[in-house]
Amino acid sequence: MRQAVLLGKPDTKRTNYMGHAAQKEGLHVLFLDWDGWKEHFPEGKVFLKIDPPVWDSCKLGQLEALVKHYENQLGQLEDQARIQDVKFFNHPGAIDLLLNKQKCKERLVRAGLSVTEEIGGGKREGPIKRVEQLLEIMQKNRVYQVFVKPIFGSGAAGVSAFRWQPNTGKMVLYTCMWKEDGMPDLVNTKKLRKVTDARQVLSLMEQLLQMECMVERWYAKEEHEGFSYDLRAVIQDKTMDFCLARLSKGPVTNLHLNNRPLKFDDLGLSGTVKEQVEELCIQAAECFPGLRSVGVDILLEKGSQRPRVIEMNGQGDLIYQDIYGDNRIYEKQARIMKQEILE
């Protein structure tokens, strides 16, 4: 019989509500803290669920180093499985792949799935590192509103919606990043700002592009009751176990920015569109066979309601509207773990 193990950080919502689910299912789970996990890793057969570490830094320039450290930890977990009988709920190699938004998107494109289109950059053209280069690419593609986002990070860290009118030179930037006077670093805040001063926009964008970023077409999203919205779905074992709309008056919809959550079924979408969303999410999840649970962000194009994958999260199972309700996501995970340790 295997030992069910949860690797994460103590006293977080992830850990606590997974614990509630395990208790309800009669599953004993051994908890491992990221701090010192190697010294306390249990012997014998293990079934391991990996939760992400908690990052305290809000400096965008530290994102890549934090992710690289996490990738190293994931690699060590893979090494552990080579010397011990360890099975994973989500394989560390698959989690690692989804940490890089660009690599994730490239795999979805190769599979022929509908995604938000990347503009410029990529393997063929190389990274976009200067504002002048970005404006040239936008002009060349006749795309005058884009999202610029660091390829690493979550929680809208560094994600910026940029609109440019080349005929007038007017610019607007919607972003949660900011730079305090006299401070060298861009920081991630929990406040969405609208910046219209062209000099300030160019300065912020120039510094953001020094990070490894990707640039995507900014699509007009479908609306509900005057709000634009996108969707976060959680796919587990080829089933869409949860889907939530995130309604916003601005282009960035993350719920921690005081945006409005709404149940998927309350959007009034047709059965056909709902089926298309579910099918696309499941197809996206199937591109990463090492993941039994994955979060998928989807938008519906305004008018056509065509679904497109925005990005994915290999540890995107924490949905407050679920844990404060039925806790269905974690309860299903507990049932999966219970079944696995008995096999």
| The pLDDT of residue 38 | 95
Whole-number pLDDT of residue 31: 97
Q: What is the mean pLDDT of residues 81-104?
A: 96
Q: Are 231 and 299 in contact (CB under 8 A)?
A: yes
Going from the N-terminus, what domains does the chain have, and what CATH number goes with each? 3-90+328-342 (3.40.50), 100-113+220-314 (3.30.470.20), 122-217 (no CATH)
Give me the pLDDT at residue 181, please.
66
* Proportion of the chain in helix, strand, coil states, percent, rounded to 5: 35, 30, 35
Q: What is the pLDDT of residue 122?
A: 61
Mean pLDDT, residues 248-272 taken together: 92
- pLDDT tens across 66-91, in order? 899 999 999 999 999 999 999 999 99
The pLDDT confidence band at residue 20, using thresholds 50, 70 and 90, is very high
* pLDDT, mean of residues 290-304: 97
Decide which of 59 and 46 is more confident: 46
Confidence of residue 62 (pLDDT cuts 50, 70, 90): confident
pLDDT digits (tens, 9 = 90+) for 126-174: 789 999 999 999 999 999 999 999 998 777 788 999 999 999 999 999 9
Query: What is the share, in percent, of the chain residues with pLDDT greater than 70?
Result: 97
SS3 call for 282: helix
Residue 175 sits at the vertex; the CA angle it makes with 57 and 196, to the nearest 5 degrees, is 140
Contact by Cβ (8 Å): 205, 173: yes
What 3-state DSSP class applies to 311?
Answer: strand
Q: Please, what is the average pLDDT of the chain?
A: 93
Average pLDDT of span 100-126: 88
pLDDT at 125: 65
- As to burial, measured by CB atoms within 10 angstroms (0-12 exposed, 13-18 middle, 19+ buried), residue 310 is buried
Q: Which of 5-19, 21-35, 113-127, 231-245 has the lowest mean pLDDT?
A: 113-127
Per-residue confidence at 124, pLDDT binned at 50, 70, 90? low
pLDDT at 305 (0 to 100): 98
pLDDT of residue 36: 93
β-strand pairing of 213-217 with 145-150: antiparallel
